[in-house]
């Protein structure tokens, strides 16, 4: 059973990486560290980075949520998802992911990941949703952030770029509990 009082960390990233891919391994480690904090992993519920982060969380007994969408021809959430939330449109899926998240970690991905990143950043920048941590794991999205921030330079302050899963967790912990420090 998913506990409402647990912090939920949404992980966005490519559906392409396989278990031996460095991106999958990084997502797996991120999921483990999220579970180690007692937080819940939430993602799109399918393969690649989504599966890796859920598998990592489950390896430590963590909880997972997958938000899937009926417009995809996939058969359902991956085997590491505890609770599947089925949506009928991409906008409903995105809305669920953004609403469920207490923090967001964005890994490399394609246009779907770009939409997730852009939407959460835009809504927080325009104060249309509460300020929450947005952590980008790697410099993959740096050029997108720099180009976009030319229109609103102060919006870069909403983003934290890190190079390891541990640093992602440290950034989120610091945001949740500013006096607590790092792992």
Strand order through the sheet with 83-87: 83-87, 64-69, 40-43, 8-12, 103-106, 134-137, 159-162
Position 3 in a domain: no
Position 1 in a domain: no
Torsion angle in degrees (nearest 10) through CA of 3, 8, 11, 12: 100
CATH number for the domain spanning 59: value is: 3.40.50.450
Position 75 in a domain: yes
Q: What span, in angstroms and rounded, lies between the C-alpha atoms of 177 and 163? A: 21
Q: What span, in angstroms and rounded, lies between the C-alpha atoms of 23 and 76? A: 22
Sequence-separated (6 or more) residues with CB below 8 Å from residue 110: 14, 16
Sequence-separated (6 or more) residues with CB below 8 Å from residue 173: 37, 180, 181, 182, 183
Position 130 in a domain: yes
pLDDT tens track of the chain, all 183 residues?
444 468 999 999 999 999 999 999 999 999 999 999 999 999 999 999 999 999 999 999 999 999 999 998 777 899 999 999 999 999 999 999 999 999 999 999 999 999 999 999 999 999 999 999 999 999 999 999 999 999 999 999 999 999 999 999 999 999 998 665 555
**By residue range, what is the domain housing residue 89?**
8-174
Q: What span, in angstroms and rounded, lies between the C-alpha atoms of 50 and 108? A: 12
Position 23 in a domain: yes
Position 31 in a domain: yes
pTM of the model: 0.93
What pLDDT, in 10s, does the model give residues 43-93? 999 999 999 999 999 999 999 999 999 998 777 899 999 999 999 999 999
Return the biggest CA–CA distance within the chain: 46
Sequence-separated (6 or more) residues with CB below 8 Å from residue 88: 69, 70, 71
Q: What span, in angstroms and rounded, lies between the C-alpha atoms of 48 and 119? A: 21
Nearest to 107 by CA among 53, 33, 176, 37: 53
* Structure tokens, 87: 């949506």
Position 155 in a domain: yes
Split into its structural domains, the chain has a count of 1
DSSP classification of residue 154:
G
Q: How many C-beta atoms lie closer than 10 Å to residue 4's C-beta?
A: 7
Position 25 in a domain: yes
């Amino acid at each position: 059973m998913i506990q409402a009082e647990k912090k939920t960390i949404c992980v966005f990233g490519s559906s392409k990486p396989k278990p031996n891919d460095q991106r999958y391994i990084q997502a797996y480690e991120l999921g483990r560290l999220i579970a180690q904090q007692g937080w819940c992993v939430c993602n799109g519920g399918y393969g690649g980075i989504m599966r890796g982060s859920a598998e990592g969380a489950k390896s430590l007994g963590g909880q997972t949520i997958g938000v899937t969408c009926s417009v995809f021809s996939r058969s359902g959430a991956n085997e590491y998802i505890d609770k599947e939330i089925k949506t009928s449109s991409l906008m409903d899926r995105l809305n669920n992911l953004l609403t469920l998240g207490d923090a967001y970690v964005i890994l490399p991905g394609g246009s779907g990941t770009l939409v997730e990143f852009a939407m959460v950043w835009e809504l927080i920048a325009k104060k249309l949703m509460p300020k929450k941590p947005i952590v980008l794991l790697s410099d993959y999205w740096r050029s997108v952030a720099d180009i976009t921030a030319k229109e609103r330079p102060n919006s870069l302050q909403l983003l934290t770029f890190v190079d390891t899963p541990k640093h992602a967790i440290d950034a989120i912990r610091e945001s949740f509990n500013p006096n607590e420090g790092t792992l």
